[in-house]
Structure 1
Amino acid sequence: MLVFYNIVIKSYYFLVVFFSFFNKKAKLWLVGRKNWQQKFVVNPSTTKVWFHFASLGEFEQGKPLLQAIKTQQPQKQIIITFFSPSGYEIRKNSNLGDYILYLPLDTKQNAEDFIALFKPEIAFFNKYEYWYHFYKTLNKNNIPVFVTSAIFRPKHIFFKWYGGFNRKILSFVTHFFIQNKESAVLLNGIGFKNYTICGDTRFDSVLDLAKNKKEFPLIEAFKAEHKLIIAGSTWPQDEELIANYIKNLNGDWKIIFAPHEIGEDKILNLEKLLGDQSVRYSSLLNSSENLNSAIKCIIIDNIGMLSSLYSYGDIAYIGGGFGVGIHNTLEAAAWGLPVVFGSNFQKFQEAKDLITNGGGFTIANQQELNIIFEKLINQPKFRIEAGLKAKNYVAVNIGATEVIMEYVFPEN
């Protein structure tokens, strides 16, 4: 099975090489890993903690733990690796890391070279990331491996009769910090008892964002006395549904789109969909154009505003639910906004919980979106109560970071 795993890893690499000729992300993935061993001068006298994240969302999820270690263990240096360009390219200059790089391809040689170069004393992998050679090499060198905000489902290969190789990867883990009881039952079922149920560090992350909001005077002026829908991390199918609804949007309401992808072609398509009732945020910043009454929509054409934009909102729509899976619902919930999202939410415990407690609503088509938006817009009491339920859900689920810190660094 290891031979097959190695073949898959190498095949993936050659696919990236092929796609790099016409795909920007593939090229970044490839170039970012080139000659990685020569890019760093590593101080051998300092102790180091390694964090690995798949992408940007996982980085934000794990950031409270990073911050806690920087504060409580300031003598330690931090290594941060990313699998995806969408994480590395945005956070490569983060002040939370002393060494920030792409995770090298998971080969035996790369894993051994990486550990020999950085010599971490502890490694944290976030949520889903399981790499055989890195895990095995860490284990062989007696370096503890912790998986944070881990979540397991019955369909995962670890729990299938043919998942022996994948269970071997789990055997290299020192301790799992898991999100829910279902994950505990599944781990128990395959003989793993080394876990703590402590929830998701993302709750700590979004609560911190809510305490440190950024002010945007243009957004404040745009909202004025109106109510505001924030459509965050949207994809084309989300945008089409919302655009169809807002054609007849109540005059008391406006909307902000913060698309997941902000390439020029994506923004142009959204502008075409919305017509002359929309304006780009960058256009407002770079011109004297007034926010006249005809402007019902602002399109955010940059990265980094969304988490604070929710503070201006009254309803949030979270994109991704008709494709890759919904994006971060908790950032909006932390601000007390009811959240609406598409039907692909089953992988996200927080989305299921929000639906259960009445702070979140899922839709599968145009009709269902119209119904829930009408209810949230025209029934203020219902909207406010749903938002309070969402906010309370975040508040009662904080604390995972503290649990992890007490377990890993008990001397503090």
Structure 2
Amino acid sequence: MGRWLYSLCLYLALPCALAFLGYRSLREPGYRSNLRQRFGHVKPDGEEPIWVHAVSVGEVLAAAPMVRRLMARFPERPVLITTVTPTGADRVRDLFGEEVAHRYVPYDLPHMVNRFLSRVQPSILVIMETEVWPNLVHACDDRGIPVILANARLSEKSATGYSRFAPLALPPFQKLDWIAAQAEADAERFVSLGARPERVTVTGSIKYDVRIGNQARAAAAGLRELIGGERPVWIAASTHDGEEGLVLDAHCRLLEQYPEALLVLVPRHPERFDAVARLVADRGLVTARRASGDDPAGAQVYLADTMGELPMLFGCAQAAFMGGSLIARGGHNPLEAAAWSLPVLSGPHVFNFSSVYQQLSTEGGMSFVIGRDDLARELGYFFGHPQVRRVAGTRAGAVMDANQGALDQLYEGVCWRLAGSFV
């Protein structure tokens, strides 16, 4: 009964969803492309593909190493990657070109999901992190398609929200064939929502298995030389509306102590690049925009208004602030910064990655800041005490090294279930 009520509500909300797509497309034209795919009207691309669902850019990047291994292990099987956002779709094309197929995932309405599954006929579905949709999971279960929740995380806040709708939330978790949880706390929350304990494994986070390639290192070194090798440089990554102003205020205070300091500012959403540029100009700061090819040597703020370059940009900095944390967005993944052995700074709101931040904090690889004054003070201390900064960065890198191996466990678990689905 719960799923039917849920479906009825979705049908009633469909006009609002279409209106939202139209609104988003005004700023991001990509939302207008391939609109029919969101209703399940897709063309198959190969028989019984391995289907990986990744909501947006972060999930695509996390899934990429696993997808590469699966392609090598099962070369006869096509791979389909679905996303929700156009930026995620762009990242799929950037990483894989024509090696994999991309489609937009359908709305979670029964006839749209069934239309999609009838046309694609996947052999397995691997969902990255948290995207569990009741009708999709039910339809896959009906058709005998194994569903895996990979690199799975579930915050306490989200678990509480699911529990309020137990008749709807519990059945999908009960039907999942395997949940590869990032941490013990995540596993316990999934079990509390109905997942079968014998189908839940704590594998760790595959995001610890970050590898910085030679190409990224060379690009970072070149950009660092262009910036000026001796300058104090910090990066504010994946910032949000309402947060950039605090970051810029902190940078203005830092400039009083270190006039040569440079902030590499990386807003989370591309449609806000111009608005953030205006915020910088309003504070009278000299700005260079990466997309325009501006020279950052004389700038006070380097606005990284491009997509897909954040992993490289960390390599240009000496300290990293992770956005979405000074406001209640739950923070963003700090592990790419830690992979460069950078000390990490974050606001208090990190519930999306609580276990990761807790470990980094316990090992001395990161510090929490309350607001702009605290952020400016910590940055000033790091730049004034380079040995302290280097030790904190080394400890952050050590956390990465100590937690690697989740990708191997996830890959083997997917392969085992994938091989069974071919029989």
Tell me the CA shift for residue 3 of structure 1: 2.6
Q: Which residue of 2 aligns with 1:279?
A: 288
Identify which of 334, 339, 344 aligns with 1:329. Answer: 334
Provide closer, same or farther for how the CA distance between residues 317 and 290 of structure 1 changes in structure 2, counting only shifts above 3 A. closer
Q: Which residue of 1 aligns with 2:116?
A: 114
Identify which of 300, 310, 316 aligns with 2:320. Answer: 316
Q: Which residue of 2 aligns with 1:298?
A: 302
Q: Matched residue pairs, number?
A: 404
Q: Which residue of 2 aligns with 1:398?
A: 404
Quote the Cα distance in structure 1 between the aligned partners of 2:168 and 2:328.
29
Quote the Cα distance in structure 2 between the aligned partners of 1:77 and 1:214.
33
Q: Which residue of 2 aligns with 1:344?
A: 349
Q: Which residue of 2 aligns with 1:2?
A: 3
Amino acid at match of 1:392: A
**Which structure carries more helix by proportion?**
2
Provide closer, same or farther for how the CA distance between residues 210 and 107 of structure 1 changes in structure 2, counting only shifts above 3 A. farther
Tell me the CA shift for residue 7 of structure 1: 2.6
* Contact 1:363/1:369 (<8 A) preserved: yes
Amino acid at match of 2:168: F
Quote the Cα distance in structure 2 between the aligned partners of 1:314 and 1:93.
28
TM-score, normalised to structure 1, is 0.88
Amino acid at match of 1:254: L
Identify which of 129, 138, 141 aligns with 2:140. Answer: 138
SS of 1:62's equivalent?
helix
TM-score, normalised to structure 2, is 0.86
Identify which of 335, 353, 359 aligns with 1:353. Answer: 359
Map Cα deviations across residues 280-323 of structure 1 (whole Å, 9 max, x no partner): 224445xxx6834xx33222221122210111211011111114
Provide closer, same or farther for how the CA distance between residues 210 and 363 of structure 1 changes in structure 2, counting only shifts above 3 A. farther
SS of 1:391's equivalent?
helix
Q: Which residue of 2 aligns with 1:261?
A: 269
Map Cα deviations across residues 372-399 of structure 1 (whole Å, 9 max, x no partner): 2222222222211110111111111121
Q: Which residue of 2 aligns with 1:379?
A: 385
Provide closer, same or farther for how the CA distance between residues 103 and 69 of structure 1 changes in structure 2, counting only shifts above 3 A. same
Q: Which residue of 2 aligns with 1:182?
A: 185
Tell me the CA shift for residue 346 of structure 1: 1.6
Q: How does 1:2-401 map to 2 (within 5 A)?
A: 2-24=3-25, 28-29=30-31, 31-34=33-36, 39-44=42-47, 47-92=48-93, 94-95=95-96, 98-155=100-157, 156-157=159-160, 160=163, 162-189=165-192, 190=194, 192-193=196-197, 194-204=199-209, 206-208=210-212, 212-213=216-217, 215=219, 217-247=222-252, 248-251=256-259, 253-263=261-271, 265-285=274-294, 291-292=297-298, 295-321=299-325, 322-348=327-353, 349-401=355-407
* Contact 2:82/2:104 (<8 A) preserved: yes
Provide closer, same or farther for how the CA distance between residues 159 and 279 of structure 1 changes in structure 2, counting only shifts above 3 A. closer
Q: State the superposition RMSD in angstroms.
A: 2.7
Provide closer, same or farther for how the CA distance between residues 14 and 352 of structure 1 changes in structure 2, counting only shifts above 3 A. farther
Gap regions ≥5 residues in structure 2? none
* Contact 2:227/2:297 (<8 A) preserved: yes
Q: Which moved more, 1:3-12 or 1:140-149?
A: 3-12
